[in-house]
Structure 1
Amino acid sequence: MKWGALKELGILIIIFGAVWAGFSYYNYDEIENPFAITLEKEAELSDFMNKHLMSDFKIIQNQALDSSIQIITDRLLSNLDSAQYEYKFHIMDESESNAFTTLDGNIYIFSGLIKEVSSAEELALILAHEIGHAENKHVVDKLIKTIGIEALFSIMTGGDPVLISEISKLTLSTSFDRLNEEEADDFALSLAYESQINPGRLAQFFLKMKAKDQSVLQEKLEFISTHPMSNDRIKKSSDYTLPDDFKEIAIPLDWEIVKSYLN
């Protein structure tokens, strides 16, 4: 066999080995993503990341507040078919108006957001949006696009704790792309409808946020910087088509009392 043929054979062997190694960690989905992280590996990576997040933020321990959030999330999750995760909701003592999704169904809610929304239904739409990011694997995709598949391989096989910490922070600070936000919106509006919550509640919250003074937006309303809004997205929520017989069933919470649990 000539040297050129041997060289080509060697390259093929290397490529095959790399692909085989990849598939030992990842599931193949030739339609969506040839390297889709398994739920088991995502949970493993999430454990590392959440430890760092928990050290950076103060978790609010309040049974009445937790129960109130559970009433909202139970309404949503009971109307979600075949959820990919067992969702876990964490309330953080942070003044910013924000909520974000990490890996393995972990969703974080800042106390500032609880104070900012006007009702349980508004918060339900925001949490439905975050669940949409999780169900559509947007966080995993964002990490792969931002840091590359090699870095995730390194973390999953016992990577540098400093790198894990930095990636945890990156999950908080990096915005999703426009397509991800639209998909999460579509998911949230549909889930709200199935949960007998008016999908227009999302537009109500967005419009209220956009009406805030620009200096306040920059300093406080982090939800806007991590979830950039457009008039098209607001209009989609406002104009969501509902049947004539649709009737919203109120979530049985007095929101002023819920906010008092934060004091």
Structure 2
Amino acid sequence: MKRLKRLPVLLIAVLMCFLQACDKNNNLSLFSVQNDVELGQQVSQEIANNPQEFPVLSESQYPEAYTYLEGILDEILASDEVAYKEEFAWEIKIIQDDDVLNAFATPGGYIYIYTGLIKYLDSEDDLAGVLGHEIAHADLRHTSRQLQRQYGISILLSVALGQDPGTLEQIAAQIAGGLAGLRFSREFEEEADSRSVDYLADTDYACNSAASFFEKLLAEEQNSGTPEFLSTHPSPDNRVADINAKAEDINCDTTPLNPSSYDNFKNMLP
């Protein structure tokens, strides 16, 4: 009888611990912020160890391109709306593949963007919109929250409590293997869109810049069929309207910067 009584007490204690430790965005996650940091480090290492799938451009060979990107990243991260600006790594890497229109973020703030997407975009504001969206995925801890749904409570509790480091490595390898085709729920994509407006509202960029990429995709869809990007992402039909509605709701500046410097940036790439 005593053993039966002790088990519920232990479960209640553990649950209370987590319930009292909602993250800075008021989301309950069984992964701690430190788990996000460690998982991000492992995923970034998995990517570095797989140059065939992820041909990352060297910072030493393309210093000007990285300086340009990091300048945009730093301006967005200066926003008071970024919850984990101090805790996460916020490193950015360029993957060389002109055929891929994609960018992704790992837990812990490691951001990757393909040359195909960089060259597809038309302005620095467009790029800031994409980066704001990816920062939001990391800052809102979408991967951790998605893992919570995928793996279940018992496994993630053991990882979060440091009892199963092997599973953490397995999860890191799985995330790295699927990042190029990573699919978040419509809820998470809309949440990242909305938060990007909040971030960019604190910068000189048009706060609705995340919408311009989808507007270009929609125009191409009408002219030549569905772009490949849309096969792994929610339809942008309502996303443009939602982003613009959020910008109007918080009354932020939607005036874009002069796009001339962006062409210079694209010319820095191979």
Which category of TM-score, normalised to the shorter sequence, fits these structures?
Answer: 0.7 to 0.9
AA aligned to 1:126 is V
Q: Which runs of 5+ in 2 are unaligned?
A: none
Most deviating of 150-159 and 102-111: 150-159
Most deviating of 172-181 and 246-255: 246-255
Q: Which runs of 5+ in 1 are unaligned?
A: 1-5
State the Cα deviation string for residues 79-111 of structure 1 (Å, max 9, x = none).
235641341111112331111111111111111
Counterpart-to-counterpart distance in 2, 1:184 and 1:163: 23
For 1:87, the equivalent position in structure 2 comes to: 90
RMSD: 3.2
Contact 1:203–1:234 (Cα < 8 Å) also in 2: yes
Contact 1:92–1:108 (Cα < 8 Å) also in 2: yes
2:34 partner SS? helix
TM, length-normalised to structure 1: 0.80
How many residues align structurally? Answer: 251
For 1:123, the equivalent position in structure 2 comes to: 127
Q: 1:162 to 1:236 in 2, by over 3 A?
A: closer
Counterpart-to-counterpart distance in 1, 2:15 and 2:166: 17
For 2:7, the equivalent position in structure 1 comes to: 14
Q: Is the counterpart of residue 250 in structure 1 residue 254 in structure 2?
A: no
Contact 1:29–1:36 (Cα < 8 Å) also in 2: no
> Which of residues 42, 45, 51 is equivalent to 2:39?
45
AA aligned to 1:44 is E
Counterpart-to-counterpart distance in 2, 1:54 and 1:255: 27
AA aligned to 1:228 is P
> Which of residues 207, 213, 227 is equivalent to 1:205?
213
Counterpart-to-counterpart distance in 2, 1:217 and 1:245: 30
1:29 partner SS? coil
State the Cα deviation string for residues 42-101 of structure 1 (Å, max 9, x = none).
222222222112223121121011011012112212223564134111111233111111
State the Cα deviation string for residues 216-249 of structure 1 (Å, max 9, x = none).
723xx3xx34442332211123443289994746
AA aligned to 2:141 is K
Any residues of structure 2 matched to 1:1-263 within 5 Å, and which?
A: 6=1, 9-17=2-10, 28-29=20-21, 32=26, 35-56=29-50, 57-61=54-58, 62-81=62-81, 83-84=83-84, 85-94=88-97, 95-152=99-156, 153-154=158-159, 157-159=164-166, 161=169, 164-212=172-220, 217-218=227-228, 221=229, 224-239=230-245, 240-241=247-248, 246=253, 248=255, 250=257, 254-263=261-270
Structure number, greater radius of gyration: 1
Counterpart-to-counterpart distance in 1, 2:75 and 2:259: 11
Counterpart-to-counterpart distance in 2, 1:168 and 1:158: 17
TM, length-normalised to structure 2: 0.78
